[in-house]
Amino acid sequence: MDVRFVKSSNDYKKCPQTHLPEFAFIGRSNVGKSSLINMLVGVKNVAQTSSTPGKTRLINHYEVFFNDKIKGVLTKQDQYRWYLVDLPGYGYAKTSKHERQHFEELIAGYILTRINLLNLFVLVDVRLEPQASDIAFINYLGQHKVPFALVFTKADKLSSAQVNRNIEIFKNEMLKTWEELPEIFITSAKKALGRVELLNYIISIIDNYWKNKNM
Ligand code: GTP
Ligand code: MG
């Protein structure tokens, strides 16, 4: 698998032009977006991580190219090319109102206009009780019919019983407003947990995309 950095954009209108299938990662600041991206592509520092929240401030595009078999990943074709996007975090309290507005516009503009965006991964810290900003963001996606999956992060920091309990609590919170739950993944960037599951999910969506395009 190869990955190359394409571009950082401070305006959704300046994102790279492409017809390739695209997958974006979003979540509260410090949830582990950049770490998860590095874990997925198997490169340590392709996306910059930081213990200080608010590290990723731009829309970062990467091009991913599967050119060999990955253990456990069910590739029907040998070659897959897709775009992976690291988005700035939402809900970071310490940014100024002006800056927060800028990020909200950046994120909303991207999500609502990017036609090749096939799926958004919404990352949620598995250690926390349901956060208002996560629920609000998920409901916003529902209103705008944006396809997404939920990715719980930092699973290595809890026992599996605690992980399952917190996910149940989160699901119950969602079921207050949602009839159906999205696809759910449990991950740890530290332990590479959930990598194969996420890659298989991405590949199944890419397969469907090309199948429908060619019909
Ligand atoms: P911003 O770009 O600031 O919005 O943050 P981000 O969501 O990209 O988070 P980032 O990947 O930079 O990670 C934030 C912190 O959480 C870092 O200190 C990471 O080392 C840590 N972290 C991320 N994922 C995991 C994980 O799966 N397990 C553990 N134990 N720590 C993690
Ligand atoms: Mg980041």
- For residue 154, how far is its CA from the centre of ligand 1 (angstroms)? 8
**Model's pTM, two decimal places?**
0.93
How do residues 96-126 score in pLDDT, each as one tens digit? 788 778 888 889 999 999 999 999 999 999 9
State whether the beta carbon of 89 lies less than 6 angstroms from ligand 1. Answer: yes
State whether the beta carbon of 189 lies less than 6 angstroms from ligand 1. Answer: yes
**Residue 95: its pLDDT value, please?**
67
Q: Which of 38, 44, 49, 86 to mutate to test the pocket of ligand 1 (most atoms within 8 A of CB)?
A: 49
Q: Which are the contacts of 55, defined by CB distance < 8 A and separation ≥ 6? A: 29, 34, 48, 49
How do residues 48-60 score in pLDDT, each as one tens digit? 666 666 666 789 9
How do residues 131-150 score in pLDDT, each as one tens digit? 999 999 999 999 999 999 99
Percentage, residues of the chain above pLDDT 90: 65
State whether the beta carbon of 116 lies less than 6 angstroms from ligand 1. Answer: no
| C-alpha distances in Å from residue 152, one per residue of 21, 81, 164, 194, 204 | 23, 25, 10, 10, 20
State whether the beta carbon of 127 lies less than 6 angstroms from ligand 1. Answer: no
